[in-house]
Amino acid sequence: MTHDELTIANPKMKAEGVDVFYGAKQAINNVSIDVGTDLVTAFIGPSGCGKSTFLRSLNRMNDTLASARVTGKITLEGEDIYAPSMDVVQLRARVGMVFQKPNPFPKSVYDNVAYGPRIHGLAAGKADLDLIVERALVRAGLWDEVKDRLGESGTALSGGQQQRLCIARAIAVNPEVILMDEPCSALDPIATAKIEDLIHELRGKYAIVIVTHNMQQAARVSQRTAFFHLGTLVEYGKTADIFTNPKQDRTKDYITGRYG
Amino acid sequence: MTFNAPALLFVIVGLALIGWLAGRARSALLAARAGVKLHSRPQYHGWYVALWLFAPAALFLALWSSVSPALVTSAVLETPAAQGLPEFGFERGAILSDARSTAAGRQAAVRLPAAAPLVEPYRQAAQRYGAIGIGAMLALALAGGLYGYSRVGPGLRARSRVERIVMAMLLLASLVAILTTFGIVMSLLFESIRFFRLVSPAELLFGTHWNPQSGAPQPGTFGGIPLFWGTVLIGAIIAMIVAIPIGMMTAVYLTQYAAPRVRRWVKPCLEVLAGVPTVVYGYFAALTVAPALREFAAMLGVPNASSESALAAGIVMGVMIIPFISSMADDSINAVPQAMRDGSLALGATPNETIREVLIPAALPGVMGGILLAVSRAIGETMIVVMAAGLSANLTANPFASVTTVTAQIVKLLTGDQEFNSAKTLAAFALGLVLFLVTLLLNIAALRIVKKYREAYE
C-alpha cells in the first residue's frame, strides 16, 4: 500500500498497527489509518470484513464486549486513547457515535438531546440547556419538524427522524469526531438522502467516519475511502481515486461488483 | 357385581390392547395383499381401533362413577326400610353413610343401630346398578371396538383420525385444570353467599372490629378492615420495602456488572432461596427475627412491642419475595435492547448513569408488572404470617405490634373442631373470596402491563 494519499496534514485520529481480537479470533489485522479533521472518511467492504469492529475501537465501544481485545495504538489529537490515563467516559463524549438502527431513548425528544449535556454538566441552567438542545436539533436538520413536539416520545418519530435525533443527540455533547455505523441501512431512500445532506452540512465542523455497505453512498458523501477485506485494510485513498482508479485488484473487483 | 372403577379401567385398557393388536393385524393382512395401498401404516389402524374402543367406554366409566352413588342412594330411600329415617340433618347423613360403608364391606358391622336395616337394600341396589354399569360399559367398548375394526381398510385415514382424537384428549386434559379452578371458585362463591345471608357484605368489607364467635352471628364482630390492613401492611408495604430495592439492585448487578462466572453462581443460589418451603421461612421469622425485633423495639422504647410483629413477618416475607422480583427485573432489563445501552454509553455516560437514566426507565413497566405479581403472591402467603404475625386483629400502624392477615384468619377459622354452618366458619370462605378476587385483579393487571411492554420492543 502506498502511503502518499494517506498522509493527511493534521489528522484528528491516527491508528497504527491495530489488531482487534474477539476471544481467539482475530477480527482486525494490523490496520493503520489517519482520520482527517475536516473530512468525511468512508469505510467500505463486504459484510464481516471488520469495518464496524474497527470503527467501534475508535471510541472504545468494544470495551463493552468482555471478549474483545485491542492492541496497537490509536490516538486522538496525539493522545493514546487506550492509555490507562484515558478516561473512557470523556473519550466517548469527544468521539460520538451513531448506530445502524436508530436507537432513541424512550424519553421525550427534548430529553433525548438533553441527555448528554445533562450527564456531562454542559449547561449552566435551563435556558442554556434549551439553547443547546435547539442548536443540536437545528444542526441535525430536525428542528423545524419537531419544534412543536419536543415533549413527545422520541420513539414516536419516523425512522429517518429518529436517526437525525440520534445525530442531534451526539452533536449536543460537542464531539470532535462522529462515528456513523451504517446510519442509513434501516432507512428508506428519502430519509437516506436527508442524512446524506446532513453529513455534507456537518463536514468541516466534525471529523466524520462513516461505515457503509452502499458504495454510491461512500462516493457521494466522503472525501477519503478505506476498503476493508477479511480484517485488513486493503486500500485507502481519496474517494475519487478509489472509485475511478483503484490500485489493488481486490478493490477493483469489489467496486465493480465482482463480490461482496 | 359391584362397580369398581379402577379395576374396570384396567379391563378396558386390556380390551383396547386387544383392539390395537386386532386392528394392526387386519391392516397388516390387507397391506400384504398385492395391489392394496393403505393410506396409513398398520399401527395407526391399531390405534384407531383401540381409541374407538377405549374412549367411549372410559367416558362412560367416568360418568357412571360420578352418578351411580346418587342413583343407589335414591333407590335405597325408596325402600320401606328407609321410612324410619330422620327427615333432615346430620343424623340422617350419618346413618346412610354407615349403611353404605357396611354394605361395601369397608367395616364389619354397623355402628349405628338405625343403619342395620338399610345395609341389605344398599347392597342390593349397589349390585344392581353395578351390573347395569358394567354391562353398559362393556357393550359400549365392544360396539366402539367393532365399529373401529369394521372401518379398517385401505381408504381409512386412520393417521389423521388418530391425530384428531389425540388433539381432543389433550384439550380434555387442559380442561381439567380450568374446570377445577371453576369448581373451586364456585364452592367459594356458594359458601360466601351463605355467609352473606347471615352477615352483610358491607360489614365484612368496611367494619373495623373483628372478633367472630361461634353460634349465632353477633353484629359488629365481622369487620374485615383490621385483617385487610394487616395484609396490606405486611404483604404490600413492609415486604415490598424490603424486596423491591434489594431485588432491583440484585437484578442490576447480575445483568450489568456481574462477570459470567459470578452470575453462574448467584442465580442458582437465588433460585434456591425461592424454593425454600414457606414454613421454614415461617419459623425463621417466628424464632429468630421476631425476638430480635422485639428487643430492638424495647431498646428504642416502642410501646406495645410484641413477640409477634408485622415487621418480623413482613421482613421475612420480603426476603422470600426477593428472588421473585429480581428475576422479573432481570428479564425486563435484559429485554431492553442492547442498542439502547450502547447509545447511552456512546454518549459518554457511565454504566451507572446508563442504568439509572435509560435501562431502569425503559424496563420499568415490566418491573411494575413483576412487583404486582409479587404483591399478589405476598398477600396470599400464609405460613409466615400464621407463625410470625400473630392472630390478634389490631388496627395499628405500629409495625412492632402484632397484626393478623386474611390468610392467617382463614387458617384460624378452619382449624380445630368447627361446625360447618356457623357464620364463624363460613366467614373463612368469604375472606377467601375477597382474597381471590384481589389477587385475580392484581394478576390480570400485571399480565396486561407485562404484555403491553413486551409488544413495545418487538
Lowest-pLDDT choice from B5-9, B79-83, B246-250, B412-416: B79-83
Cβ neighbors of B5 (< 8 A, separation 6 or more) are B61, B65
Q: What is the mean pLDDT of residues A48-68?
A: 90
Q: What pLDDT band is residue A63 in, cutting at 50, 70 and 90?
A: confident
B411 is in which domain, residue-wise? 225-457
Residues B102 and B232 grouped into a single domain? no
Does residue A161 lie within any of the structural domains? yes
Question: Residue B455: what pLDDT?
Answer: 63
User: Helix (H, G, I), strand (E, B), or coil: what is residue B301?
Assistant: coil
Given a cut of 80, whether residue B417 has pLDDT beyond it is: no
Question: Residue A259: what pLDDT?
Answer: 67
Residues B242 and B143 grouped into a single domain? no
Rounded percentage of chain B residues whose pLDDT exceeds 70: 96
Please answer yes or no on whether B349 and A64 come within 8 Å at the CB atom.
no
Residue A61: which of B259, B260, B346 has the nearest Cβ?
A: B346
Q: Across chain B, what does the average pLDDT equal?
A: 86
B338-357 burial, b at 16+ Cβ within 10 Å, e below that, comes to eebbbbbbbbbbebebbbeb
Q: What is the mean pLDDT of residues B358-372?
A: 87
Q: Across chain A, what does the average pLDDT equal?
A: 90
Question: Residue B419: what pLDDT?
Answer: 67
Does residue B175 lie within any of the structural domains? no
Given a cut of 70, whether residue A239 has pLDDT beyond it is: yes
What is the distance between the alpha carbons of residues A231 and A223, in angstroms, rounded to a whole number? 22
Smallest CA–CA separation between B358 and chain A, in Å? 7
Question: Residue A179: what pLDDT?
Answer: 96
Question: Residue B420: what pLDDT?
Answer: 64
A161 is in which domain, residue-wise? 3-255
Rounded percentage of chain A residues whose pLDDT exceeds 90: 73
Q: Which residues in chain B are closer than 8 Å to A120, comparing Cβ atoms?
A: 348
pLDDT higher at A100 or B302: A100
What is the distance between the alpha carbons of residues B139 and B157, in angstroms, rounded to a whole number? 26
Rounded percentage of chain B residues whose pLDDT exceeds 90: 30
User: Helix (H, G, I), strand (E, B), or coil: what is residue B66?
Assistant: helix
Residues B409 and B304 grouped into a single domain? yes
Smallest CA–CA separation between B282 and chain A, in Å? 42
How many contacts does A have with B, using Cβ atoms within 8 A? Answer: 68
Does residue A244 lie within any of the structural domains? yes
Q: What is the mean pLDDT of residues A40-63?
A: 92
Smallest CA–CA separation between A33 and chain B, in Å? 22
Structurally, how many domains does chain B consist of?
2
Residues B152 and B273 grouped into a single domain? no
Question: Residue B29: what pLDDT?
Answer: 87
Element (H, E) at B101: helix B89-103
Given a cut of 70, whether residue B129 has pLDDT beyond it is: yes
Does residue B293 lie within any of the structural domains? yes
Domain end call among B156, B179, B213: B156
Does residue A171 lie within any of the structural domains? yes
What is the distance between the alpha carbons of residues A7 and A15, in angstroms, rounded to a whole number? 12
Please answer yes or no on whether A99 and B345 come within 8 Å at the CB atom.
no
pLDDT higher at B298 or B90: B298
What is the distance between the alpha carbons of residues A25 and A30, in angstroms, rounded to a whole number? 14
Question: Residue B394: what pLDDT?
Answer: 83
Question: Residue A4: what pLDDT?
Answer: 45
Q: What pLDDT band is residue B300 in, cutting at 50, 70 and 90?
A: confident
Residues B243 and B385 grouped into a single domain? yes
Residues of A with CB under 8 A from a CB of B: 59, 61, 64, 66, 89-94, 96-97, 99, 101, 103-107, 115-116, 119-120, 166, 169-170, 173
> Residue A238: is it exposed, middle or buried by C-beta count within 10 angstroms (0-12/13-18/19+)?
middle
Does residue B162 lie within any of the structural domains? no
Residues B48 and B138 grouped into a single domain? yes
Q: Which residues in chain B are closer than 8 Å to A170, comparing Cβ atoms?
A: 346-347
Q: Give the other-Cβ count within 10 Å of A85's Cβ.
A: 6
Residue B348: which of A64, A90, A106 has the nearest Cβ?
A: A90
Does residue B208 lie within any of the structural domains? no
Quickly list H helices, B213-308: 225-231, 239-252, 260-275, 278-284, 290-300
Residue A151 phi, psi dihedral angles, 5° rounding: -85, -10
Q: What pLDDT band is residue B2 in, cutting at 50, 70 and 90?
A: low
Question: Residue B454: what pLDDT?
Answer: 67
The DSSP 8-state label assigned to residue B238 in this structure reads: I
Given a cut of 60, whether residue A3 has pLDDT beyond it is: no
Does residue A81 lie within any of the structural domains? yes
Question: Residue B242: what pLDDT?
Answer: 95
Read off the CATH number of the domain in which B287 is found.
1.10.3720.10
Q: Which three cell numbers stand for residue A119?
A: 450527564
Q: What pLDDT band is residue A260 in, cutting at 50, 70 and 90?
A: low
Domain end call among B141, B156, B171: B156
Give the orientation angle of helix B158-198 with respect to helix B42-78, to 10 degrees.
Answer: 30
- Residue whose C-alpha cell reads 356458594 in the numeric block: B190
Question: pTM to 2 decimals?
Answer: 0.72
Question: Residue A2: what pLDDT?
Answer: 43
Residues B128 and B248 grouped into a single domain? no
Per-residue three-class SS string for B192-210? HHHHHHHCCHHHHHHCCCE
Q: What is the mean pLDDT of residues B363-385?
A: 88
Question: Residue B113: what pLDDT?
Answer: 79
Residues B22 and B103 grouped into a single domain? yes
Q: Which three cell numbers stand for residue B45?
A: 389402524
Q: B297 near B398, Cβ under 8 Å?
A: no
Please answer yes or no on whether B358 and A96 come within 8 Å at the CB atom.
no
Question: Residue B4: what pLDDT?
Answer: 78
Q: Which three cell numbers stand for residue B126?
A: 349397589
Residues B275 and B416 grouped into a single domain? yes
Residue B347: which of A64, A107, A116 has the nearest Cβ?
A: A116
Q: What is the mean pLDDT of residues B7-36?
A: 88
Planar angle of CA B217, B222, B226, nearest 5 degrees: 160
Please answer yes or no on whether A169 and B345 come within 8 Å at the CB atom.
no
What is the distance between the alpha carbons of residues A40 and A12, in angstroms, rounded to a whole number? 12
Express each pLDDT in B199-252 by its tens digit.
888 888 898 888 887 777 777 888 889 999 999 999 999 999 999 999 999 999
Q: What is the mean pLDDT of residues B179-188?
A: 91
For residue A62, what is the nearest residue in chain B, using CA coordinates?
A: B342
Express each pLDDT in B40-78 by its tens digit.
888 888 999 999 999 889 989 988 888 888 888 888 888
Structurally, how many domains does chain A consist of?
1
Express each pLDDT in A176-216 by its tens digit.
999 999 999 888 898 899 899 999 999 989 999 999 988 89
Question: Residue B97: what pLDDT?
Answer: 82
Q: Which residues in chain A are closer than 8 Å to B344, comparing Cβ atoms?
A: 105, 115
Residues B114 and B259 grouped into a single domain? no
Smallest CA–CA separation between B177 and chain A, in Å? 40
Express each pLDDT in B74-84 by its tens digit.
888 888 777 77
Q: Which residues in chain B are closer than 8 Å to A58, comparing Cβ atoms?
A: none
What is the distance between the alpha carbons of residues B322 and B377, in angstroms, rounded to a whole number? 12
Cβ neighbors of B233 (< 8 A, separation 6 or more) are B310, B314, B397, B399, B403
User: Taken in order B256, A103, A76, A218, is the CA torsion positive or negative?
Assistant: positive
Q: Which three cell numbers stand for residue B4?
A: 369398581
Question: Residue A158: what pLDDT?
Answer: 92
Residues B233 and B133 grouped into a single domain? no
What is the distance between the alpha carbons of residues B372 and B447, in angstroms, rounded to a whole number? 9
Question: Residue B1: what pLDDT?
Answer: 55
Smallest CA–CA separation between A119 and chain B, in Å? 7
Smallest CA–CA separation between A2 and chain B, in Å? 34
- Return the residue in A55, A91, A103, A118 with the most chain B beta carbons within 10 A, the one to mutate for interface testing: A103
Please answer yes or no on whether A170 and B259 come within 8 Å at the CB atom.
no
Q: Which residues in chain B are closer than 8 Å to A162, comparing Cβ atoms?
A: none
Residues of B with CB under 8 A from a CB of A: 259-260, 337, 339-350, 353, 357-358, 361-362
Domain end call among B156, B173, B205: B156
Planar angle of CA B358, B362, B364, nearest 5 degrees: 120
Read off the CATH number of the domain in which A155 is found.
3.40.50.300
Q: Which residues in chain A are closer than 8 Å to B361, comparing Cβ atoms?
A: 105-107
- The per-residue DSSP string of chain A comes to ---TTT--SSEEEEEEEEEEEETTEEEEEEEEEEEETT-EEEEE-STTSSHHHHHHHHTTGGGGSTTEEEEEEEEETTEETTSTT--HHHHHHHEEEE-SS----SSBHHHHHHHHHHHHT--SSHHHHHHHHHHHHHHTT-HHHHTT-TTSBGGGS-HHHHHHHHHHHHHTT--SEEEEESTTTTS-HHHHHHHHHHHHHHBTTBEEEEE-S-HHHHHHH-SEEEEEETTEEEEEEEHHHHHHS-SSHHHHHHHTTS--
Please answer yes or no on whether B345 and A64 come within 8 Å at the CB atom.
yes
Does residue A260 lie within any of the structural domains? no
Smallest CA–CA separation between B438 and chain A, in Å? 32
For residue B360, what is the nearest residue in chain A, using CA coordinates?
A: A106
